Structure 1
Amino acid sequence: MAARGSAKSSSAVEKSPATTVDPHEEPSAEWGWHGGFPVGTRVAGWVGAFAVFAMLIGNHEGHTEDLWLLVIGSAMVVGLIWDQVRRRTSWRR
């Protein structure tokens, strides 16, 4: 009888998944892997910011375009730096 009790308790102590996603809240969970690309998103942000600043090179007659490109590119860089700082100090807040 003791063998049955130990077998029952060992089957109850199975490893459960760390995070589970409810398919009703996230329909894409039924398709398989469900997550994000945090590193890929940051890399794409830096590549995009570089591309915006690279657009400053060109045959612009006026400097209105340059001003918009500088503002948008600077906002992207500030957002990326803010995201990096927030990720490093998230446990302090």
Structure 2
Amino acid sequence: MASTDVEHTVGHGDGGHGEVEVIDTGWRREPADAPSARFGWHGAATKTFYGAAIFFALFLLAMIIGNHTGHIEDLYLIAFAVGTLFFAVRGWWMNRGKWS
């Protein structure tokens, strides 16, 4: 099986035979618990996700006002809005005591 490591090399114009110069690309294997620690990013933007979920739920509820005559669409819009708000509130509630 082929290796998954990144290796950048430059040959010396002899068809790949002879010495090979290894180029340092700065890429290092990241720790599994903080894969982007080198870039200063350690988690998801949870406040942004909660804000987007609330905006999306309000947008769905605003779509009730429209040019449709049936109420089946309204039920689907309300159900998806309630489901979105449920998962947003549940996520906030589960993470409320964690250090951020």
TM-score bracket, normalised by the shorter chain, equals 0.5 to 0.7
* Structure 2 counterpart of 1:13: none
Q: Report the 3-state secondary structure (helix = DSSP H, G, I; strand = E; otherwise coil) of the residue aligned with 1:47.
A: helix
Work out the CA distance in 1 between the residues paired with 2:72 and 2:66. Answer: 13
Q: Report the 3-state secondary structure (helix = DSSP H, G, I; strand = E; otherwise coil) of the residue aligned with 1:59.
A: coil
Between structures 1 and 2, the one with greater helix share: 1
* Structure 1 counterpart of 2:84: 76
Work out the CA distance in 2 between the residues paired with 1:87 and 1:76. Answer: 17
Residue identity matched to 2:36: A
Alignment gaps of 5+ in structure 1: 1-21
Work out the CA distance in 2 between the residues paired with 1:57 and 1:80. Answer: 24
* Structure 1 counterpart of 2:22: none
* Structure 1 counterpart of 2:63: 55
Superposed CA deviations along residues 18-43 of structure 1, whole A, max 9, x for unmatched, are xxxx52759x7387243321111111
Alignment gaps of 5+ in structure 2: 1-28
* Bigger relative CO (Cα 8 Å, ≥ 6 apart): 1
Aligned residues: 69
Work out the CA distance in 2 between the residues paired with 1:46 and 1:58. Answer: 20
Question: Is 1:86 matched up with 2:94?
Answer: yes
Work out the CA distance in 1 between the residues paired with 2:30 and 2:58. Answer: 38
Identical residues among aligned pairs (%): 24
